[in-house]
């Protein structure tokens, strides 16, 4: 099964799939509204605004797996995203990125890219470990705002650690290369 065939649900409840975005470059991000990394929504919105016209999509997947930082209902999540960050990119329903209930999308993403590219000089993993929150397995999603870049052909090109911000040159360079 390709990424395009995995059943998804939009935040509003309608069935969906990545097949709707076939031929575009995709940045898939597990998001949360009560996380220290939540301000990355602003950067994701800026990326979307900058590259949407070139065949790029940011796709957000709310996830409550990390310290319960996305407890909201679909309506609360939608309101939060629009009110605080002017989010126009697609937001899907909550799913599990880790654990026994890991969504098939994340099973496929992780199988394709088992290890995230770390932020140069980043301290997030060390901080998580200090608090007993480090991933159980190095292939697990480390925290909210981990990013997967998918090429126009549906291939998972890269995976970026949560503290790699949307404007990080490594991420922007990978997006521009995929769009070229």
**R_g over Cα of the chain:** 15
Partner residues linked to 117 by β-bridges: 160
Backbone torsion region of residue 55, taken as left when φ is above 0, otherwise alpha when ψ lies between -120 and 50, otherwise beta? left
Q: Kindly state the tokens that stand for 120.
A: 């140069």
* Gap between the Cα atoms of 74 and 51, Å rounded: 26
Paired tokens of 154: 């549906």
Q: Is the dihedral of CA 57, 62, 66, 67 positive or negative?
A: positive
Which helix (H) or strand (E) is 77 found in, with range? Answer: helix 74-85
How far is residue 78 from each of residues 54, 59, 91, 94, 126, measured CA to CA in Å?
Answer: 25, 13, 8, 12, 32
User: What does the alpha-carbon distance between residue 29 and residue 62 come to, in Å, rounded to a whole number?
Assistant: 8
Catalytic residue among 35, 58, 95, 109: 35
Q: Is 35 a catalytic residue?
A: yes
Which active-site residues does the annotation give? 35
């Amino acid at each position: 099964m390709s990424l395009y065939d995995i059943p998804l649900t939009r935040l509003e409840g309608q069935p969906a799939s990545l097949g709707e975005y076939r031929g575009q470059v995709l940045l898939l991000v597990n998001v949360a509204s009560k996380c220290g990394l939540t301000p990355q929504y602003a950067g994701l919105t800026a990326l979307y605004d900058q590259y949407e016209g070139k065949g790029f999509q940011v796709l957000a997947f709310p996830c409550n797996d990390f310290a319960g930082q996305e407890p909201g209902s679909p309506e609360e999540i939608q309101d939060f995203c629009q009110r605080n960050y002017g989010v126009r990119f697609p937001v899907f329903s909550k799913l599990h990125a880790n654990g026994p209930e890991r969504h098939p999308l994340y099973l496929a993403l992780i199988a394709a890219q088992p290890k995230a590219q770390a932020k140069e000089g980043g301290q997030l993993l060390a901080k998580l470990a200090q608090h007993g929150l480090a991933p159980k397995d190095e292939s697990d999603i480390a925290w909210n705002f981990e990013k997967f870049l998918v090429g126009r052909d549906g291939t998972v090109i890269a995976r970026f650690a949560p503290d790699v911000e949307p404007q990080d040159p490594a991420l922007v360079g990978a997006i521009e290369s995929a769009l070229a």
